[in-house]
């Protein structure tokens, strides 16, 4: 059910293209705000395969490892995600 809702969202297909390879690394190089790329150790959808290229493309991006979290870490460990957003990004 949730997947159908995502697929019907107006920007879903454009976002999917960016998440799966059709994105412009040059645009990411222009990012000037702090960025944390959070990776759940159990994220089998996007996580590990895409993180290295995003980290390489965004200057000063910080990788945050989320042990035990999946593709939707907010559901798996809301307190940890709140700490990552509000704090320094260190998660153990």
Measure the CA–CA gap between 60 and 64, rounded to whole angstroms.
13
Comparing C-alpha atoms, which of 64, 81, 63 is closest to residue 72?
Answer: 81
Percent of the chain past pLDDT 70, that is, above it, reads 82
The CATH architecture to which 2-86 belongs is 3-Layer(aba) Sandwich (3.40)
pLDDT tens sequence across 42-85: 887 766 677 787 788 888 888 888 888 988 888 888 999 999 98
Radius of gyration of the chain (CA): 14
């Amino acid at each position: 059910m949730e997947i159908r809702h995502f697929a019907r969202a107006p920007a879903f297909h454009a976002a999917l293209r960016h998440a799966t390879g059709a994105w412009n690394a040059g645009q990411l190089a222009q990012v000037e705000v702090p960025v944390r790329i959070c990776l759940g150790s159990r994220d089998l959808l996007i996580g590990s395969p895409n993180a290295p290229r995003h980290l390489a493309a965004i200057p000063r991006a910080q990788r945050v490892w989320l042990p035990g979290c999946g593709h939707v870490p907010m559901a798996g460990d809301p307190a940890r995600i709140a700490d990552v957003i509000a704090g320094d990004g260190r998660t153990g």
